[in-house]
């Protein structure tokens, strides 16, 4: 684990030998419908598996998902989970926070699944994009899945509705084109000192990262049935003699019915989530992991203003 920490610290330290000009630093909001490849893109941009940073570096209105460094510039990548169709109070709070984060960003990047094109959810975002004053770019992702002509047509379509400052075509999966985006963004974030120390990434508490990973797997599988903010907490983290790590986490939901969904028939859903999370956490910490998941009902916390404050969200009054 020590080695891992070193590598992360090095990766985020500017090369002192190069003549890079004054430091630059800024917030980049990533917008996009579910499954367009935002997480994959953040991983590719950050260039390390750690795309999730600690709550410590979260500002109230923004969900920091990663910090990418290019020469003299630090790019703070802001995630915007689910920008559409909020029904529940908690979901509405998340959506407001997402748009608030986008309003505060220096640059806005809309990610579109090039194969899927402009679906309903992307259309909702496109409609609201003009509200944001920051320069906007559009990133067509998954170009490994299709030929050039439809790509160019989609790029032209998108640019007809919004004047994007740049259009990129990338494959977050293969990394194709990602370097161009990073260089473009790095040249355009404002001049100024880095917001986070160069070794910030190495500081990310692994317990929280591990909880985030489980939460993400939970949503990937059950997002239709769960509200956005069922939370996951890491209760125990024990390093065993054989080098493996035993991790215990609790998934908090609001109602018994949700607990049943998370657990699934004969525990199948929970088992699948646990297997995926375990694999990714093991990769992150580079050690075998034994993951134990518990599900608890924390009644009506979605209507408790205190929980919203803890998550850095405004409590909607209606």
Residue 37 binds to ligand GDP (criterion: CB under 6 A): yes
37 contact, one of ligand GDP, Mg ion, none, CB 5-8 Å limit per kind: ligand GDP
**How many residues interact with ligand GDP (rule CB under 6 A)?**
15
Task: Map residues 101-140 to x or -, x wherever contact with ligand GDP holds by CB under 6 A.
Answer: ----------------------------------------
Long-range contacts from 80-88, C-beta under 8 angstroms, 24+ separation = 80/29, 80/30, 80/31, 80/32, 81/228, 82/34, 82/228, 83/31, 83/121, 83/124, 83/125, 83/128, 84/33, 84/121, 84/124, 84/125, 85/124, 88/227, 88/302
Tell me if residue 139 falls in helix, strand or coil: strand
| 216/70 Cα distance (integer angstroms) | 27
Please, what is the minimum distance in Å from the beta carbon of residue 111 to Mg ion?
Answer: 10
Residue 43 binds to Mg ion (criterion: CB under 5 A): no
Please, what is the minimum distance in Å from the beta carbon of residue 133 to Mg ion?
Answer: 26
Please, what is the minimum distance in Å from the beta carbon of residue 145 to ligand GDP?
Answer: 5
Residue 39 binds to Mg ion (criterion: CB under 5 A): yes
97 contact, one of ligand GDP, Mg ion, none, CB 5-8 Å limit per kind: none
| 177/148 Cα distance (integer angstroms) | 14
Residue 281's nearest CA partner among 186, 231, 206, 224 is: 206
Please, what is the minimum distance in Å from the beta carbon of residue 58 to Mg ion?
Answer: 17
The token pair at 282 is 């093991």
Residue 38 binds to ligand GDP (criterion: CB under 6 A): yes
Sequence-separated (6 or more) residues with CB below 8 Å from residue 260:
none
DSSP state of 55: G
Residue with smallest beta-carbon separation from ligand GDP: 37
Q: Among 132, 172, 186, 209, indicate the residue that binds ligand GDP (CB under 6 A).
A: 172
The token pair at 12 is 């985020």
142 contact, one of Mg ion, ligand GDP, none, CB 5-8 Å limit per kind: ligand GDP
For residues 261 and 222, the answer to whether their CB atoms sit within 8 Å is yes
20 contact, one of Mg ion, ligand GDP, none, CB 5-8 Å limit per kind: none
78 vs 4, 35, 143, CA distance in Å? 24, 16, 23
33 vs 97 by CB, closer to ligand GDP: 33
The region of 14-22, 35-43, 92-100, 290-298 touching ligand GDP under the rule CB under 6 A is: 35-43
| 200/55 Cα distance (integer angstroms) | 12
Q: Among 15, 144, 225, 299, indicate the residue that binds ligand GDP (CB under 6 A).
A: 144
Sequence-separated (6 or more) residues with CB below 8 Å from residue 230:
215, 218, 251, 252, 253, 254, 258, 262
Q: Among 4, 14, 20, 34, indicate the residue that binds ligand GDP (CB under 6 A).
A: 34
The region of 28-36, 94-102, 227-235, 247-255 touching ligand GDP under the rule CB under 6 A is: 28-36
Q: Which residues bind Mg ion (CB under 5 A)?
A: 38-39
Q: Which residues bind ligand GDP (CB under 6 A)?
A: 32, 34-40, 141-142, 144-145, 171-173
């Amino acid at each position: 684990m020590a080695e891992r920490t070193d590598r992360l610290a090095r990766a985020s330290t500017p090369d002192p030998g190069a003549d890079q000009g004054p430091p630059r630093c800024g917030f980049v909001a990533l917008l996009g419908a579910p499954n367009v490849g935002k997480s994959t893109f953040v991983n590719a941009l950050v260039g390390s598996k750690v795309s999730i940073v600690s709550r410590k570096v979260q500002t109230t209105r923004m969900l920091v998902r990663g910090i990418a460094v290019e020469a003299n510039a630090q790019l703070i990548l802001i995630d915007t989970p689910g920008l559409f169709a909020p029904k529940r109070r908690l979901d509405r709070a998340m959506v407001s926070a997402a748009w608030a984060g986008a309003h505060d960003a220096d640059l806005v990047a809309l990610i579109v699944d090039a194969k899927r094109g402009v679906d309903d959810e992307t259309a909702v975002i496109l409609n609201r994009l003009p509200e944001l004053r920051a320069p906007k770019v559009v990133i067509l992702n998954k170009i490994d899945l299709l030929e050039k002509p439809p790509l160019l047509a989609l790029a032209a379509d998108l640019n007809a509705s919004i004047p994007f400052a740049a259009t990129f075509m990338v494959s977050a999966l293969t990394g194709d084109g990602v370097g161009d985006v990073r260089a473009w963004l790095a040249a355009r974030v404002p001049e100024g000192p880095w917001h986070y120390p160069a070794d910030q990434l190495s500081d990310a508490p692994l317990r929280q990262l591990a909880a985030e990973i489980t939460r993400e797997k939970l949503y990937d599988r059950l997002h239709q049935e769960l509200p956005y903010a069922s939370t996951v907490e890491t209760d125990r983290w024990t390093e065993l003699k054989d080098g493996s790590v035993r991790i215990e986490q609790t998934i908090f939901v609001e109602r018994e019915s949700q607990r049943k969904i998370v657990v699934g028939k004969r525990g199948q859903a929970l088992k699948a989530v646990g297997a995926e999370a375990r694999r990714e956490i093991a990769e992150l910490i580079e050690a075998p992991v034994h993951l134990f998941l518990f599900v608890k009902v924390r009644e009506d916390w979605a209507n408790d203003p205190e929980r919203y404050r803890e998550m850095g969200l405004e409590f909607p009054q209606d």
